[in-house]
């Protein structure tokens, strides 16, 4: 028997991540289809259960059924578990049981965990994973406790469940809410648009969940000594600050003019934070100007940061492309930041990921627009929300036909597993040729 046939083919860590997400989505779909998951005790159609499970695992928040008024407490609990698994990552959750029980983790498992949380090296991955698990549950518990003073008076004992659900949903950048009723579906947080506590707590949970686990580790290890942070953490924190501040100023100046000044400021800040992958809203997004919607589309595509609970093409991808453009404008050979140089392959990866996300976003929005005969901007908004795993909507998603919902399901899934993960999973094991082709010049620009 030839030696090649004797060798066992093992799946790569990237393939495991992709299949892991798919497996959890299918299992969640099965549970949501069962009668006990809906309030009326009737089976949920497969395509609606699949859409909801995909949205939950991919921490998106787009829904075809209002979470608060359609799903039973059991169904809501299933959705919340799917959100938690999707936020932490399937591999991280799968590894938590042996980690917490003290069992040894194999090198293959460590490598998979490294890719799942975008860690720079395998060494210290077990310590980092434990730190992530502890930090996640502590922050989610703190968020729930801070929300209790608002939800308990409004909902009684049910307010405990409301606080827990919205804390986990916000931290995982999911955007699911259970505030809807039969008379008022899809309300999100519009009822609390003027409540400072709810706004601040939800925003902090979104930001902390979206900056990435490695950035947590830097802040925890080096405290306020910014100079000792990794370059990646510095870029993430600077980019996050800019992507919150500048859009908030734009929204405040160009929109929300009917609100009092302090409510307008709060709403502008909240919409800027939530647009980058969380999916909550405190105002009616469909009433905002087209210029604001275009800015929100860009923010949704950028998304959160690597190794976080958020999706999108990531803040680092966006920043690397800007740094490379600045270097070219200045006729510099190498792009860099904070006294460090960026490697060439990082810039290539960033360009590839950006191209992938923009292609998915545009093709998805165009397909929905053509099939549904709806305005292109509205369809592009929903497509960006799906591929960026945000969950904001202009209200057209629940009324879409099955084909368009399938398009959004594919966009949510690909947006959550990540561009590089998808590329490496498809092309893993295919060795490139060492021979180089002759060079011929081509003019660009």
Residue range 44-65, pLDDT digits in tens: 999 999 999 999 999 898 999 9
Q: Running DSSP on this structure, what letter comes out for residue 38?
A: B
Please name which of 366, 365, 373 lies closest in space to residue 300, comparing C-alpha atoms. 365
Q: How large a percentage of the chain has pLDDT more than 90?
A: 57
pLDDT digits (tens, 9 = 90+) for 149-198: 999 999 999 999 999 999 999 999 998 999 988 778 888 999 999 999 99
φ, ψ of residue 71 to 5 degrees: the values are -85, 145
Q: How confident is the model at residue 5 (pLDDT cuts 50, 70, 90)?
A: very low
126: which residues sit within 8 A by CB, 6+ positions away?
99, 105, 110
Instruction: Give the pLDDT score at 125.
Output: 72
Instruction: Give the pLDDT score at 292.
Output: 94
Check whether 148 has a pLDDT greater than 90: yes
Instruction: Give the pLDDT score at 89.
Output: 76
Rounded distance between C-alpha atoms, residue 190 and residue 428, angstroms:
46
Instruction: Give the pLDDT score at 102.
Output: 64
147: which residues sit within 8 A by CB, 6+ positions away?
162, 163, 166, 167, 197, 198, 201
261: which residues sit within 8 A by CB, 6+ positions away?
none
Instruction: Give the pLDDT score at 185.
Output: 84
Tell me how many degrees the CA angle 186-187-189 measures, rounded to the nearest 5: 135
pLDDT digits (tens, 9 = 90+) for 209-231: 999 888 988 998 898 888 899 89
Contact criterion met (CB below 8 Å) for 211 and 247 = no
Instruction: Name the 3-class secondary structure at 380.
Output: helix
Across 10-25, average pLDDT? 78
Check whether 293 has a pLDDT greater than 50: yes
188 vs 68, 155, 228, CA distance in Å? 10, 16, 40
Question: Which residue has better confidence, 239 or 437?
Answer: 239
Instruction: Give the pLDDT score at 204.
Output: 95
Instruction: Name the 3-class secondary structure at 337.
Output: strand
Check whether 7 has a pLDDT greater than 50: no
User: What's the mean per-residue pLDDT of the chain?
Assistant: 87
344: which residues sit within 8 A by CB, 6+ positions away?
none
pLDDT digits (tens, 9 = 90+) for 235-291: 999 999 999 999 999 999 999 888 899 999 999 999 999 998 888 999 999 889 999
Instruction: Give the pLDDT score at 2.
Output: 46
Contact criterion met (CB below 8 Å) for 308 and 209 = yes
Instruction: Give the pLDDT score at 1.
Output: 43
Instruction: Give the pLDDT score at 181.
Output: 83
Q: Which of 25-34, 105-114, 246-255 shows the lowest mean pLDDT across its residues?
A: 105-114
Question: Which residue has better confidence, 174 or 309?
Answer: 174
């Amino acid at each position: 028997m030839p030696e090649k046939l004797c060798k066992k083919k093992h799946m790569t860590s990237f393939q495991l991540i992709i299949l892991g997400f798919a497996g959890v989505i299918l299992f969640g779909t099965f549970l949501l289809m069962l009668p006990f998951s809906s309030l009326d005790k009737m089976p949920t159609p497969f395509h609606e259960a699949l859409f909801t499970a995909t949205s939950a695992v991919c921490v998106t928040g787009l829904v075809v059924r209002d979470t608060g008024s359609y799903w039973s407490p059991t169904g809501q609990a299933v959705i919340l578990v799917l959100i938690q698994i999707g936020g932490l990552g399937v591999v991280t959750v799968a590894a938590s049981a042996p980690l917490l029980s003290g069992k040894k983790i194999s090198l293959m498992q460590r490598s998979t965990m490294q890719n799942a949380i975008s860690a720079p090296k395998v060494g210290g991955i077990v310590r980092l994973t434990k730190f992530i698990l502890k930090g996640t549950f502590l922050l989610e518990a703190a968020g729930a406790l801070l929300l209790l003073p608002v939800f308990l008076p409004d909902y009684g004992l049910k307010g405990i469940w409301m606080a827990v659900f919205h804390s986990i949903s916000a931290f995982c950048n999911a955007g699911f809410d259970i505030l809807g009723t039969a008379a008022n579906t899809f309300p999100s947080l519009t009822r609390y648009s003027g409540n400072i506590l709810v706004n601040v707590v939800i925003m902090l949970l979104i930001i902390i969940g979206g900056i990435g686990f490695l950035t947590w580790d830097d802040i925890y290890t080096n405290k306020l000594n910014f100079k000792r942070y990794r370059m990646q953490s510095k870029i993430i924190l600077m980019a996050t600050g800019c992507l919150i501040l500048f859009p908030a100023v734009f929204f405040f100046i160009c929109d929300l003019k009917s609100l009092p000044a302090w409510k307008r400021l709060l709403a502008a800040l909240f919409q800027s934070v939530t647009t980058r992958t969380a999916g909550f809203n405190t105002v009616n997004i469909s009433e905002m100007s087209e210029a604001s919607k275009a800015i929100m589309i860009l923010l949704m595509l950028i998304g959160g940061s690597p190794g976080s609970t958020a999706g999108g093409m990531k803040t680092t991808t966006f920043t690397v492309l800007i740094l490379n453009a600045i270097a070219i404008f200045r006729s510099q050979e190498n792009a860099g930041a904070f006294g460090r140089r960026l490697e060439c392959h990082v810039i290539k990866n960033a360009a590839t990921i950006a191209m992938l996300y923009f292609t998915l976003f545009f093709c998805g929005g165009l397909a929905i627009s053509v099939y549904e005969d709806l305005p292109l901007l509205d369809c592009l908004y929903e497509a960006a929300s799906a591929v960026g795993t945000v969950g904001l909507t202009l209200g057209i998603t629940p009324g879409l036909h099955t084909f368009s919902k399938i398009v959004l399901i594919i966009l949510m899934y690909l947006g959550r597993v990540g561009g590089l993960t998808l590329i490496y999973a498809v092309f893993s094991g295919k060795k490139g040729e060492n021979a180089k082709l002759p060079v011929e010049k081509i003019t660009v620009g």
